[in-house]
Amino acid sequence: MLQIQQLIQTGQIETAIHETETMLGQLPASGFQYIIGKDLLHLTGPLTAYFNYFYTVMTEDEELEVKALYLEMNSFTIQYDQWFLHLLAYESLAHHDNPDWLADFSGEAQKRLNITGFEALQETNKQYMQTEGYRDDQLRQACELQEYLIILRLQELALKTIRTNKGKAPWANIPVLVGAHDYEDLIFTIQ
């Protein structure tokens, strides 16, 4: 999976999606293949509103000088009942070779944005954990590839949302890091 990490770090999200979908499609059929060809782009409008709301609260109500944002998905592999996005604001952008700095945020969203469209995957993940599917090597590999695809689809959504709002919204002109809880090695920075 090092190849996927490298593609993310170099901003080649579409290539990473294609390669991960291809690998997942080559494995025996399971509920994890549901994600192939599915995206989260229907959330572009709600994500724009979420960014607008959060940035306004942070800069006007909290009077922060926001230099970076972190859009993080919850621990979706163990919290399969509800998948959501959460925003954090930073008044400085640290060197992100060491992800420990992410804990030093200046502001945190009080609201979250629920992810819709992947409910079938949530159920598949629930069944996988409850039946100890991780004991099957091929099923475990399918699950891992699906995890990468979920994060990649989130990054694709954030990238499209930010590009759509460049020059229109101040938050679209600062670095936005995009990832999932406990997947710090897969964080994508949109500049």
Residue 78: pLDDT band with limits 50, 70, 90 = confident
Q: What is the pLDDT of residues 143-182, one digit of tens each?
A: 999 999 999 999 999 999 999 999 999 999 999 999 999 8
Q: What is the mean pLDDT of residues 111-130?
A: 95
* 68-73/188-190 β-pairing: unpaired
pLDDT at 93: 79
Q: What is the pLDDT of residues 9-39, one digit of tens each?
A: 899 999 999 999 999 999 999 999 999 999 9
Instruction: Give me the chain's average pLDDT, please.
Output: 93
Q: Which residues contact 46 (CB under 8 A, 6 or more apart)?
A: 113
Q: 53-59 contacts: CB < 8 A, separation 24 or more?
A: 53/111, 54/87, 54/89, 54/109, 54/111, 54/171, 55/89, 55/169, 55/170, 55/171, 57/107, 57/109, 57/110, 58/89, 58/106, 58/107, 59/170
**What is the extent of the structural domain holding 158?**
1-190
Task: State how many domains the chain has.
Answer: 1
The distance between the two most distant Cα atoms of the chain, rounded to a whole number of Å, is 53
- Residue linked to tokens 């509103």: 49
pLDDT at 142: 97
Q: What is the mean pLDDT of residues 130-141?
A: 93
Residue 98 has pLDDT above 80, yes or no: no
Rounded to two decimals, the pTM is 0.93
Residue 96: pLDDT band with limits 50, 70, 90 = low
